[in-house]
C-alpha cells in the first residue's frame, strides 16, 4: 500500500485498480502523505467561508435532496438583499473574507438582474472579499454576466461522473452532459470552479468513485466539495444508508495527493455523520471549512439531509467552536480570501 501511496504523491495519478485499493485502504500513511502535501502548499492554515443559504426554492426534484420541489413539507423562503448584507456584515466582523451564496434553482433569480444587484452590493461594501456562487445550472451568458458583476468562484457539484448513475439520482430533464457543459463554461469564463460528489450516494460503486477521480483529474478544478450522502426523510432515498466516514476521508486524501493546491472543504455533511468529522477531514488533507452565516430562523428550512449540524448555533459561536477544535489538532483558522494557489 505504501508504494501505491508514494506513487500517487509523485505522479498524481494511478490506475483504476490502484485507485480502488486506496479508496478502501485503512493505512494511516495515506492521510500522512496527504497532510504533508497540504502542508507544503498551505501550511497549517485553514480557510473559512461564510455560507449564506439565501433561497430554498428549487425547481428541481433531485431524489436525494430535501429541498426538492416535490417536498411540500418545507416552508420556502428567500432572503432580502438587506438580510444578506446583514449576514455579510456579521461575517466580515468575524473574519470571513469569502461569502458563499448558495441556493436552490429558484425561478425568481432566472433572469440575472436580482443576483447582479446582490453581487454588486456585496462587492461595493466588501471589495476585499471573494464571492462564491452556488446556484446551479445557468447559460454561458448568465455565468458571464454574474462573473462581470463580481462573482469570483462557482460551486457546482457534478454529483457523479457516470451518466447512467447520474440518471438514477435525478429526474430525466437533468443530464450529466449539461452539468459538465456548465463546469466547462464556468472555467472558460475565468471562475475558480468547484465540482464534487456525495460519497455513498445510492447506487454508487467503487468504479463510480474512480470515474469521479478521473473526471476531476481532467477538469482540474480549483475546489472539490465532497461529503457523505445522508438520507432525508421526505425524499425517495429516505430508506437508504448514509455514506461511509472512512471512504470519505480516503477520497479527501487521494484528492489532496492528486492536486496538492486544491481547495478542499471538510464539509458540514462530514461533521454530521461524525461529531469530530470536520477535524478528521482536516487531518485527512482538507483545508477549508464553511460555517453557516444564514439567519438563525432560516437554518431549519435549509435541510438537504436530516441531522444537519449547527442549525441552532449562531455564527459567532460556530466560529469560536471551529477555532478551538482546529487549534486543538494543531491548525489555525485564518482571515484571508483563501484563493487557490495554483502550482
Ligand atoms: N446528503 C448529502 N449531501 C447532499 N446534497 C444534497 N442532498 C444531500 C444529501 N441528502 C449535496 C449535493 C449538492 C450539495 C449542495 O449538497 O451534492 O450538490
**In this predicted structure, what is the pLDDT of residue 253?**
99
CA of 102 to the centre of ligand 1 (A): 12
Ligand 1: atom nearest CA of 232 is 10
Over residues 201-246, the pLDDT tens digits come to 999 999 999 999 999 999 999 999 999 999 999 999 999 999 999 9
End-to-end CA distance of the chain: 27
Ligand 1: atom nearest CA of 197 is 17
256 occurs within a structural domain? yes
Ligand 1: atom nearest CA of 134 is 15
Q: Which residues line ligand 1 (CB under 6 A)?
A: 64-65, 157, 159, 198, 227, 229-230, 232, 269, 304-305
* The C-alpha cell that represents 326 in the structure block: 482546529
184 occurs within a structural domain? yes
Give the predicted TM-score (pTM) of the model: 0.98
Residue ranges of alpha helices (H) inside 159-295 are: 163-169, 176-189, 206-219, 245-258, 268-273, 277-283
Residue ranges of alpha helices (H) inside 28-152 are: 28-42, 81-93, 113-125, 140-148
191 occurs within a structural domain? yes
Ligand 1: atom nearest CA of 269 is 2
340 occurs within a structural domain? no
Residue range 321-335: mean pLDDT, rounded: 97
Ligand 1: atom nearest CA of 196 is 17
| Count of structural domains within the chain | 1
- Structural domain of residue 59, as residue ranges? 2-334
Over residues 246-291, the pLDDT tens digits come to 999 999 999 999 999 999 999 999 999 999 999 999 999 999 999 9
166 occurs within a structural domain? yes
Over residues 124-181, the pLDDT tens digits come to 999 999 999 999 999 999 999 999 999 999 999 999 999 999 999 999 999 999 999 9
50-79: b or e for each residue (b if 16 or more CB lie within 10 Å)? bbbbbbbbbebbbbbbbbbbebeebeebbb
CA of 155 to the centre of ligand 1 (A): 12
342 occurs within a structural domain? no
Q: Ligand 1: which of 103, 203, 305 to mutate, most ligand atoms within 8 Å of CB?
A: 305
**Which residue has a Cα nearest atom 16 of ligand 1?**
304
Ligand 1: atom nearest CA of 65 is 7
CATH of the domain at 213: 3.20.20.70
The share of the chain scoring above pLDDT 90, in percent, equals: 99
**Which residue has a Cα nearest atom 18 of ligand 1?**
157
Instruction: For residue 75, give the DSSP letter.
Output: P
341 occurs within a structural domain? no
132 occurs within a structural domain? yes
Instruction: Calculate the alpha carbon distances from 282 to 34, 174, 263 in Å.
Output: 10, 33, 11
**Which residue has a Cα nearest atom 14 of ligand 1?**
157
Q: Ligand 1: which of 53, 63, 64, 104 to mutate, most ligand atoms within 8 Å of CB?
A: 64
* The C-alpha cell that represents 13 in the structure block: 495519478
The share of the chain scoring above pLDDT 70, in percent, equals: 100
CA of 43 to the centre of ligand 1 (A): 29
**In this predicted structure, what is the pLDDT of residue 343?**
59
Amino acid at each position: 500500500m505504501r508504494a501505491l501511496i508514494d506513487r500517487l504523491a509523485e505522479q498524481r495519478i494511478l490506475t483504476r485498480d490502484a485507485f480502488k485499493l486506496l479508496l478502501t485502504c485503512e493505512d494511516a500513511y495515506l492521510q500522512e502523505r496527504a497532510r504533508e502535501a497540504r502542508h507544503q502548499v498551505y501550511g497549517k492554515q485553514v480557510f473559512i467561508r461564510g455560507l449564506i443559504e439565501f433561497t430554498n426554492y428549487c425547481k428541481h426534484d433531485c431524489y436525494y435532496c430535501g429541498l426538492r420541489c416535490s417536498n411540500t413539507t418545507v416552508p420556502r423562503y428567500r432572503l432580502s438583499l438587506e438580510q444578506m448584507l446583514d449576514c455579510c456584515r456579521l461575517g466580515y466582523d468575524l473574519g470571513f473574507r469569502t461569502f458563499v451564496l448558495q441556493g436552490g434553482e429558484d425561478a425568481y433569480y432566472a433572469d440575472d438582474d436580482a443576483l447582479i444587484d446582490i453581487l454588486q452590493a456585496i462587492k461595493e461594501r466588501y471589495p476585499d472579499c471573494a464571492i462564491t456562487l452556488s446556484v446551479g445550472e445557468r447559460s454561458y451568458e448568465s455565468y458571464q454576466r454574474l462573473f462581470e458583476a463580481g462573482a469570483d468562484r462557482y460551486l457546482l457539484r457534478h454529483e457523479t461522473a457516470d451518466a447512467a448513475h447520474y440518471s438514477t439520482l435525478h429526474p430525466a430533464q437533468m443530464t450529466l452532459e449539461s452539468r459538465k457543459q456548465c463546469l466547462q463554461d464556468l472555467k472558460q469564463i475565468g471562475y475558480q470552479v468547484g465540482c464534487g460528489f456525495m460519497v455513498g450516494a445510492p447506487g454508487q460503486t467503487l468504479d463510480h468513485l474512480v470515474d469521479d477521480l478521473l473526471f476531476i483529474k481532467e477538469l482540474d478544478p480549483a475546489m472539490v466539495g465532497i461529503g457523505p450522502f445522508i438520507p432525508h426523510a421526505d425524499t425517495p432515498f429516505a430508506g437508504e444508508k448514509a455514506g461511509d466516514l472512512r471512504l470519505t476521508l480516503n477520497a479527501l486524501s487521494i484528492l489532496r495527493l492528486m492536486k496538492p493546491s486544491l481547495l478542499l472543504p471538510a464539509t458540514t455533511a462530514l461533521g454530521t455523520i461524525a461529531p469530530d468529522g470536520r477535524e478528521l477531514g482536516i487531518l485527512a488533507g482538507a483545508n477549508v471549512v464553511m460555517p453557516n452565516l444564514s439567519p438563525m430562523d432560516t437554518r431549519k428550512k435549509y435541510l438537504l439531509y436530516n441531522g444537519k449540524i449547527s442549525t441552532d448555533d449562531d455564527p459567532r459561536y460556530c466560529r469560536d467552536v471551529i477555532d478551538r477544535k482546529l487549534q486543538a489538532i494543531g491548525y489555525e483558522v485564518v482571515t484571508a480570501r483563501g484563493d487557490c494557489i495554483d502550482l
